[in-house]
């Protein structure tokens, strides 16, 4: 009578060193930070969203290049409604014409209403303000409000804009990292304060 051969036990990937062990009672899960800036990994192509009511008349030249010499993709939106539809996670930078009408079409008296709207719409993206060379004060105020930089429309060329895009993306990433670090420190201080409050009084 043939002797039955015992079946070999399948070795889980965790035991064989091919995977990380899942925590007890649950699946292994990796969560991305909700406020993470648009990813720009190795080899990623930069994407610019141009918000201007007349993209055809824009001084922007098509040969925008990143630091590696690769073309920068350009999307164009004629208004804020189109911009919201085109604003996906692969957009790294927004070039906003400050001369666009204010949201809602009303005259709010706020010259930077359109910028404030875009900053609320895209808090994780780098924003460059585009203005006339005779309106430098408005550009400086745009930076104080939250834009990474401002550019003069009639002095813009492909090389200048390419460099400004790269710097704006890096500046936004640095600002986001500093903000997270500060928030982490505040949370740690609050946790220590709570722990001290929970300790028994000797």
Buried b (16+ CB within 10 A) or exposed e, 151-166: bbbeebeeeebbebbb
pLDDT at 24: 41
Cβ partners under 8 Å of residue 157, min gap 6: 59, 61
pLDDT at 150: 93
CA distance 174 to 73: 23
Tokens of 89: 């996670």
Q: What is the DSSP letter of 48?
A: E
> Pseudo-torsion of CA 189, 124, 160, 85, nearest 10°?
-170
pLDDT at 120: 92
**Cβ atoms of 149 and 143 closer than 8 Å:** yes
pLDDT at 66: 75
CA distance 50 to 97: 8
Domains of the chain: 47-196 (3.40.50.2300)
pLDDT at 153: 86
Per-block mean pLDDT, blocks of 10 residues, the chain (202 long): 51 41 35 45 75 67 73 88 90 92 71 91 92 90 94 85 90 74 75 71 62
């Amino acid at each position: 009578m043939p002797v039955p051969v015992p079946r070999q036990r399948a070795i889980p990937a965790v035991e064989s060193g091919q995977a990380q062990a899942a925590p007890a009672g649950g699946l292994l899960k990796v969560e991305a930070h909700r406020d993470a800036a648009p990813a720009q990994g190795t080899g990623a192509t930069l994407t610019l969203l141009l918000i201007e009511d007349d993209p055809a008349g824009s001084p922007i030249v098509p040969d925008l290049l990143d630091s590696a010499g690769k073309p920068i993709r350009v999307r164009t939106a004629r208004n804020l409604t189109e911009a919201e539809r085109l604003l996906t996670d692969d957009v790294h930078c927004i070039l906003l014409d400050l001369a666009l009408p204010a949201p809602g079409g009303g005259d709010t008296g706020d010259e930077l209403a359109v910028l404030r709207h875009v900053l609320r719409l895209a808090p994780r993206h780098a924003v460059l303000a585009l203005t006339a060379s005779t309106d430098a004060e408005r550009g400086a105020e745009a930076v104080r409000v939250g834009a990474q930089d401002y550019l003069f429309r009639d002095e813009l060329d492909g090389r200048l804009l390419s460099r400004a895009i790269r710097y704006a993306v890096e500046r936004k990433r640095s600002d986001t990292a500093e903000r997270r670090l500060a928030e982490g420190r505040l949370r740690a201080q609050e946790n220590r304060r709570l722990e001290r409050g929970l300790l028994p009084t000797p």
